[in-house]
Amino acid sequence: MDDKFKSLGKIIRTYMRRHRIPGLSISIIQEDKMIYSKGFGARDLEEFLPMTPQTLIGIGSITKSITAFGIMKLVETGKLDLEDSASKYLDFAPFTSHPDMTIKHMLSHTTGVPAADAGLSSLFYLFDDYSRVFPATNYEDFIAHIGDPEDYIIFEPGEKFFYNNDMYTCLGFIISQVSGQEYVDFIRKEILEPLEMKRAFFSKDNFNNDPLNNKITGYLTEKKGNILVPKKNPVPLYEYLNAPGGLYVSTEEMINYILCLLQNGVYHGKELLTNKSIKELWTPIIACPYGFGENPHYCLGWVKSNNYLSTKIMHHGGGLGTSCAHIALDLDHKIGIMAGQNSCNANINVIIKAALSILLGFDPTKEVEELNLETIIDDIKGNYKSPHDLYDLKISLDKGILTADIEIDDGPMSYPIIVENLDTLDFKICGTLPPIKQNIRFIKSPKSNKVEFAIFDRYLYRKT
């Protein structure tokens, strides 16, 4: 195995240990050749079954790109237009009361409709969360739930990015209406079967009866003491999750989809979508907070990150609580990566970034900020004392929040801290009125290269 993949394997194993990820699978293609495909850890901890590249994983919102692909197939056959008013197909609010909302707005999360999460109700209950109980279990309840909060629509279509799963559920309704088929049947016949994705499923029956019996056991996370640990939980498979995030598939079969996209809509000589339609899917629409590098934009079911590692990346992530996944395509170097894991205890896009860095000749420990930051946080966490053990300082991490508990002559304080400068190990105290201008600076020992001291205000604390 190439040294670059040995390096990637070590990064993956370190990531899994740090975040207690039960299992992870990754598959990578360059041009038209699979260059790496490997499973790590367990798809089922209790049964001690290995994760493999053939293991079915819930890919969550990556499914949106497939729904968008399906919409473009209907556009190509003249059955609808991206500029059609959504109200032409959806005879209920908020579409009927806002006829300027188009299919394109729905695909790009620019309808102006904030998320109401009608389709996520099934996840809440499956995950034993009854703090949000509302009627959304049938079609009438679902459309009423998304139509009721009309007074929350304060932006014009195209003006504001609101990531909205329910809009994609409604796109599934449109696909069913226009094609004359159920959404899952249309996607299977028009996309999955031509791509030879024979084990890609939406339904609970298909998942449970997978012919290879190679599917994930899902794990939520729960807190035990000061750590988050995996907790076995059923995986979500519900109708209103299908179009926004319901597909279960292996990373290896997703390579077929990636190959088609890298070849401009052609798979094994058969055109599934024209190059023009692929370009439409990948045209930036609006700036969004999801992405790699600076200024990512949402397209149609995809995020575009320009000039990340000096190249263009099309990508999308997805999470279902019991699994998460990420897909990325480097268009300049014809690289495609698909990774998934059976827990959402950490963001798998870190692994995608690390793989891209390695393949493009960069050092991931320098280019992937999350990897560098995790190492630094591990180093600064702990207890510190001032001279004569007069005052304490404690740095802790809980649910992603880094906190400093500080004692000084004025008494104890507790504040979140964020990175100000990683090179100098300066961390900024935030959320205070009046604001505290002093940073906390950490000092490494020249002998061990580990953090030994912390400075705040007039005090120096030594790590114990």
Model confidence at 235: pLDDT above 80 = yes
pLDDT digits (tens, 9 = 90+) for 196-207: 999 999 999 999
Residue 390's CATH number: 2.40.128.50
pLDDT band at 228 (very low <50, low <70, confident <90, very high): confident
Note whether 362 and 380 are same-domain residues.
Answer: no
Cα separation of 270 and 291, whole Å? Answer: 31
Note whether 392 and 259 are same-domain residues.
Answer: no
Q: What is the structure's pLDDT at 128?
A: 93
Cα 303–Cα 377–Cα 39 angle in degrees, nearest 5:
55
What is the rounded average pLDDT for all residues in the chain? 95
Q: Which residues pair with 329 in a beta bridge?
A: 314, 336
Q: What is the structure's pLDDT at 369?
A: 87
Q: What is the structure's pLDDT at 219?
A: 97
Residue 80's CATH number: 3.40.710.10
Q: What is the structure's pLDDT at 4?
A: 87
Note whether 250 and 385 are same-domain residues.
Answer: no
Instruction: Among 326, 348, 367, identify where a domain stops.
Output: 367
Instruction: Among 367, 390, 417, identify where a domain stops.
Output: 367
Note whether 66 and 186 are same-domain residues.
Answer: yes
Q: What is the structure's pLDDT at 249?
A: 98
Model confidence at 440: pLDDT above 80 = yes
Note whether 281 and 362 are same-domain residues.
Answer: yes
Note whether 272 and 200 are same-domain residues.
Answer: yes
Note whether 443 and 318 are same-domain residues.
Answer: no
Task: Give the three-class secondary structure for 26.
Answer: strand
Per the structure block, which two tokens stand in for 211? 């012919």
Strands 23-30 and 33-44: antiparallel
Number of domains in the chain: 2
pLDDT digits (tens, 9 = 90+) for 154-176: 999 999 999 999 999 999 999 99
Q: What is the structure's pLDDT at 433?
A: 78
Note whether 274 and 392 are same-domain residues.
Answer: no
Model confidence at 226: pLDDT above 80 = no
What percentage of the chain's residues is helix, strand, coil (to nearest 5)? 30, 30, 40
Strands 335-341 and 23-30: antiparallel
Q: Give percent of the chain with pLDDT exceeding 90.
A: 91
> What mean pLDDT is predicted for residues 274-299?
96
pTM to 2 decimal places:
0.94
Place of tokens 């055109």: 271
Helix 3-19, helix 369-380: angle, nearest 10: 50
Cα separation of 365 and 387, whole Å? Answer: 35
Q: Give percent of the chain with pLDDT exceeding 70.
A: 100
Model confidence at 399: pLDDT above 90 = no
Q: Are 356 and 335 in contact (CB under 8 A)?
A: yes
Q: What is the CA radius of gyration of the chain?
A: 24
> Which structural domain, as residue segments, surrounds residue 432?
374-463
Note whether 333 and 428 are same-domain residues.
Answer: no
> What mean pLDDT is predicted for residues 367-393?
94
Model confidence at 1: pLDDT above 60 = no
Note whether 360 and 379 are same-domain residues.
Answer: no
Instruction: Among 367, 390, 407, identify where a domain stops.
Output: 367
Q: What is the structure's pLDDT at 443?
A: 97
Note whether 363 and 381 are same-domain residues.
Answer: no
Helix 165-179, helix 63-76: angle, nearest 10: 40
Note whether 409 and 363 are same-domain residues.
Answer: no
